Amino acid sequence: MLIYKFDNDNTDVSIQIKLLNNSFVATWKDYVIRTSKRIPNLVWSFHPHHVTQQLVTTVNYKFFIFNILKSFILLGKHYQIDYNKEILELKYLLIDYSNLTQQHLNKWHRHFTSLAKLLNPYVSSTTFTNTPVDKIHHAIHELNNNSHLLETLTYPKLSRITKLIPNQMYYGLHAASTRHLEDNETIWGTETVEYIKEEFDFNNSSYNHTVWITDDILGKDHFKCWFEEDDPSNDDIEGNTLMTPNITLDPNRVFQKTIEDSEFQQFVINSNKKLNRYPLGDIENVDEIDWNNIANFKLKSIELDGSILWKYEQP
């Protein structure tokens, strides 16, 4: 049993997960136990994900576009990469962002994935400016963060989402992400990263579950590729390749419903790539959780099979 305990103004709540009994989950459990001993002070956060993103009229979307524009200008000079087409598109979108499409975001996010790999100290790359590394790091991740923020403009127009899973939520429990970059290197650094060796294929493995391993921070899995009308032949479209302590809670069974769609199944088959997004188990007390407010609670502890892996004192 995997248990996440939360607290908010002396109100306790727990998410109780019955893990699957298979070789992948056994390997994942061993990895999580070792990670807890190696990194006892991970910063965890709870992330609600609204599948059908809603337009927020009070948000300054031009600010997000401008952030991406600044990043492309800086990174283009630093690496001498020709982003003139992207820069021109962004300048037009600053005037009228109603022409923004998901294809724009797919392309910008793909650049983020390629550029993020250059941050690996073991990857050789030539640079042409004296810009500090932390500013380059920030500029690269701004491509990712602001592309996702702009999804509230594009997601309501994506027919696969609106048809299949309108107004559905799923939730991430993350120890490291683009919002907690300080833990990324600790978990996925060259000396500490662990690769997944098993494959997951929905044709011969069960998928009617409510807890999944979270997708890799780089690239895009088949689910997002499908929802975002992207091309699965791109190199960055793949399932999980790296072990992660992060999990995705899916009380509305968004992933199960998607896999059950025959068009999605054919989409994965035609990609000639395995789905490789792994279920971990099921939320046993799913109906007891106030999913609308759980993000306001603070994590107290994470327990696995009766042993506390992480524990946090509340102020």
Among the three residues 93, 123, 154, which one is the final residue of a domain in this structure?
Answer: 154
Residue 256 forms part of a structural domain:
yes
Q: Where is the domain boundary, 128, 154, 180?
A: 154
Instruction: Say how far apart CA 188 and CA 112 lie, in whole Å.
Output: 17
Q: Are residues 46 and 67 in the same domain?
A: no
User: From CA 237, how far away is CA 232, in angstroms rounded?
Assistant: 6
Three-state DSSP at 238 gives coil
Tell me which residue of 222, 250, 223 sits closest to 234, measured CA to CA. Answer: 222
Shared domain for 6 and 128, answered yes or no, is: no
279 with 146, same domain: the answer is no
Q: Which domain holds residue 100?
A: 61-154
Cα dihedral across residues 123, 126, 132, 137: positive or negative: negative
Full-model pTM: 0.88
Q: Are 137 and 118 in contact, with CB atoms under 8 Å apart?
A: no
Residues 78 and 178 placed together within one structural domain of the fold: no
Could you tell me if 102 and 157 are in contact, meaning their C-beta atoms sit under 8 angstroms apart?
yes
DSSP 42-106: ---EEEEEESS----TTS-HHHHHHHHHHHHHHHHHHHT---HHHHHHHHHHHH-GGG--HHHHH
From first to last of its 315 residues, the chain has per-residue pLDDT tens of: 999 999 987 789 999 999 999 999 999 999 999 999 988 888 888 888 776 656 566 788 999 999 999 999 999 999 999 999 999 999 999 999 999 999 999 999 999 999 988 887 667 789 999 999 899 999 999 999 999 889 988 988 888 887 776 667 889 998 854 444 455 556 656 567 888 999 998 988 999 999 999 998 778 999 999 999 999 999 999 888 889 999 999 999 999 999 999 999 999 999 999 999 999 999 999 999 999 888 889 899 999 999 999 998 755
Does 307 share its domain with 203? yes
Give the tens place of pLDDT for each residue, 66-106: 999 999 999 999 999 999 999 999 999 999 999 999 999 99
Note whether 44 and 73 are same-domain residues: no
Residue 31: CB atoms within 10 A of its CB come to 15
- In a domain, residue 56? The reply is no
Q: Please tell me the predicted confidence (pLDDT) of residue 108.
A: 97
Rounded-to-5 percentages of helix, strand, coil across the chain? 45, 15, 40
| pLDDT computed for residue 6 by the predictor | 93
Question: CA 229, 244, 199, 252 torsion: positive or negative?
Answer: negative
| Pairing status of strand 45-50 against strand 2-8 | unpaired
Q: Are 146 and 174 within one domain?
A: no
Q: Are residues 8 and 141 in the same domain?
A: no
- Give the total number of structural domains in the chain: 2
206 and 301 inside one domain: yes
Judge if 169 and 291 occupy the same domain. yes
